[in-house]
């Protein structure tokens, strides 16, 4: 048995050792350091960022703490949410350094083989095939922008089949259409307020998104704005949602998105609301992507939504998620979110 295990693990590695010897001892040392400190530093940064954001999420919602009773912890939560963003960016920087090191190593050895932890990551995180741009992850806008002349249509369905103590069962449907205008700009229109049971509060939501920067290094920056115009059962005249966010896409296909938002009075709450918006996308294969997004804050858009994005066809994309409110979860503030989008060529 010992001999069998030795052959199983050692024999596949012999070509790497042989290849290293051709370049001498120095080459072997360089190959050993492919796993190097960058990946460890990146993993540590991402872990710390996730922990900081998670604790910030807990301390700034009513899940466990009341900000009126624990104002210090509430303030600490806000600090953790803010600090989590630059730590995540630092982790992305370390990933950049590692990718550059791998590229240089491949040029020297003329080999596509990567050993140790890098191989494991390459197996676990499979890049997805080139797909059409998506306009949101689930609720948080993505940093994708449609090319000029392209049209995207989507129907969103929010479904809560059972009553909670604070939130009753409901269904809501939101159609949207987006058009690429060129120059990294797109325009769109959402129609919200179609909620059952009860009277509709139909609201037209024209949107615009501008991508001022998209680099070959995987970094992208977008600015966006949505104007809310109620046209039926109006409770206010108009409101606005503005955001600025950036994303980092890695060669594995992983994309992280983070930024800030500002909702004016009556958009999602009786008063102005500002906070953070975050997203995470990890391709599992060429058709399925695990994704999650989150709006911070206590308001009508304050939800964390994990789920799956799947390519049902060349131009068809499906979304299935579960939205969990930042407050009153025990009272039923959670629901199913389904979306179906189509890219017109």
> Residues 81-88: what's their mean pLDDT?
71
Answer whether residue 240 shows pLDDT above 80: yes
Answer whether residue 177 shows pLDDT above 50: yes
- Write out pLDDT tens, residues 21-38: 443 444 444 444 445 777
- Decide: 317 and 132 in contact? Cβ < 8 Å: yes
Answer whether residue 324 shows pLDDT above 90: yes
Name the residue with higher pLDDT: 6 or 64: 64
**257 falls in which pLDDT band (50, 70, 90)?**
very high
Name the residue with higher pLDDT: 158 or 163: 158
Answer whether residue 109 shows pLDDT above 70: no
Residue 86 pLDDT: 73
Give me the phi and psi of 210, to 5 degrees please.
-125, 130
Answer whether residue 127 shows pLDDT above 50: no
How far, in Å, CA of 108 to CA of 115, rounded?
15
Lowest mean pLDDT among 24-28, 29-33, 125-129, 179-183: 125-129
> Residues 212-241: what's their mean pLDDT?
94
| CATH number for domain 151-344, candidates 3.40.50.150, 3.20.20.150, 2.40.160.40, 3.40.50.10190 | 2.40.160.40
Residue 52 pLDDT: 80
Domain boundaries, the chain: 13-124, 151-344
> Residues 35-51: what's their mean pLDDT?
78
């Amino acid at each position: 048995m010992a001999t069998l295990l030795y052959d199983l693990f050692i024999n596949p590695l012999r070509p790497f050792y042989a290849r290293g010897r051709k370049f001498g001892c120095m080459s072997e040392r360089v190959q050993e350091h492919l796993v190097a400190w960058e990946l460890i530093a990146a993993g540590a940064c991402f872990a710390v960022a996730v922990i900081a954001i998670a604790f910030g999420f807990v301390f700034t919602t009513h899940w466990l703490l009341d900000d009126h009773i624990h104002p210090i912890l509430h303030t600490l939560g806000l600090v953790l949410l803010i600090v989590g963003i630059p730590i995540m960016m630092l982790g992305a920087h370390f990933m950049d350094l590692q990718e550059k090191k791998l590229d240089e190593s491949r040029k020297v050895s003329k080999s596509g083989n990567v050993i140790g932890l890098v191989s494991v990551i390459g197996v676990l995180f499979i890049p997805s095939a080139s797909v059409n741009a998506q306009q949101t992850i689930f609720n948080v806008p993505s940093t994708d922008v449609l090319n000029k002349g392209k049209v995207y249509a989507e129907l969103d369905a929010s479904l809560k089949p059972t009553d909670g103590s604070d939130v009753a069962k409901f269904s809501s449907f939101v159609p949207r259409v987006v058009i690429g205008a060129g120059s990294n700009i797109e325009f769109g229109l959402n129609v919200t307020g179609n909620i059952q049971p009860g009277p509709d509060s139909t609201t037209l939501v024209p949107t615009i998104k501008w991508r001022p920067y998209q680099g070959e290094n995987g970094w992208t920056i977008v600015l966006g704005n949505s104007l809310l115009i109620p046209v039926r059962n109006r409770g206010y005249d108009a409101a606005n949602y503005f955001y600025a966010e950036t994303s980092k896409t890695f060669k594995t296909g992983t994309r992280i998105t983070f930024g800030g938002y500002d909702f004016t009075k009556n958009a999602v709450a009786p008063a102005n609301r500002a906070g953070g918006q975050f997203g995470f996308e990890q391709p599992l294969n060429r058709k399925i992507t695990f994704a999650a997004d989150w709006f911070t804050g206590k308001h009508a858009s304050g939800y964390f939504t994990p789920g799956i994005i799947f390519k049902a066809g060349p131009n068809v994309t499906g979304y299935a998620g579960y939205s969990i409110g930042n407050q009153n979860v025990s009272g039923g503030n959670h629901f199913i979110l389904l979306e179906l989008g189509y890219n017109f060529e």
